[in-house]
Structure 1
């Protein structure tokens, strides 16, 4: 069954031809799945961990009861509890992740520690290194990422042989992003997750 999406899907061969003509004008947008191959859980997987932590601590049950988050019955049990509390956005709502994360760990320092525990020791994947190679060859100039890891930075440091080649800018510094683009200081990585994760 084909699902109609609000945007056009470009087939791989079409993309290859377009990339050949437009490489320097294209930007890449990396979602959480881009880091999954490096062992970092996706946002969806972490959301279930937040819900699990709330369920265990508030219901005062053994973590073993809801240990297997891949089990649909466990997810149904946890989600029923979360929904019945009336405190959170509906499942799948854009603000669900932030609301549940903040409820599970109200302290910003604890949220930061949680994220650091998930990203510690991760190494850039083949895809990260390929992207860094495209950036070095100036076939791409700008990368947007919703990720809170430094894997693009690490890949660029390895490929470029220096940590100073990539300019990384968060949403909290639009003037720096503008200045970097105007000055054509490539490559540029725009972190669009910084405020969302840590300043809820």
Structure 2
């Protein structure tokens, strides 16, 4: 079906119900992609993970009998992507981050969403998860700002063995009249690149950004 075909080439962590810890255990037994998981013996995974093992095999095959619930407006929008193997190449890392930032900004545009927080997710070997976020003074819709902030928040991780990256916008607003200018913002407690981001945003707001 369409779902299993879509999941087949993706990292196994893209399958619903598979988090970083489970993904690590699956890789140890040779299951690295959604296709690998779909082809796995449910009984074998059931012996390892219990009922959850059989369930994630069904999800990988596109078999999901959960009730469909009405979808309201999202509270956040995100995009994640895993490398086949962990990479320490800063250029590969930044290129992937730029693509994710562009995808998230484009999705926000399609949803007519403004965002007041921009964040990243970084998974490094051995599957350590870190998040960083930056709060703006008000909702905006600006792809260049998503790219700039995500790049600066990622600065402390550049060159680390990165397995997976994610970019997220949150604190969403769907009223275009609420949009703020790009100049001012305040940092969240976990935004460790505060000073560098401030300098970049000051330049960006003056029209002299990159």
- Taking structure 1 as the reference length, what is the TM-score of the superposition? 0.27
Q: Please state which structure has a larger fraction of its residues in strand.
A: 2
Q: Please state which structure has a larger fraction of its residues in helix.
A: 1
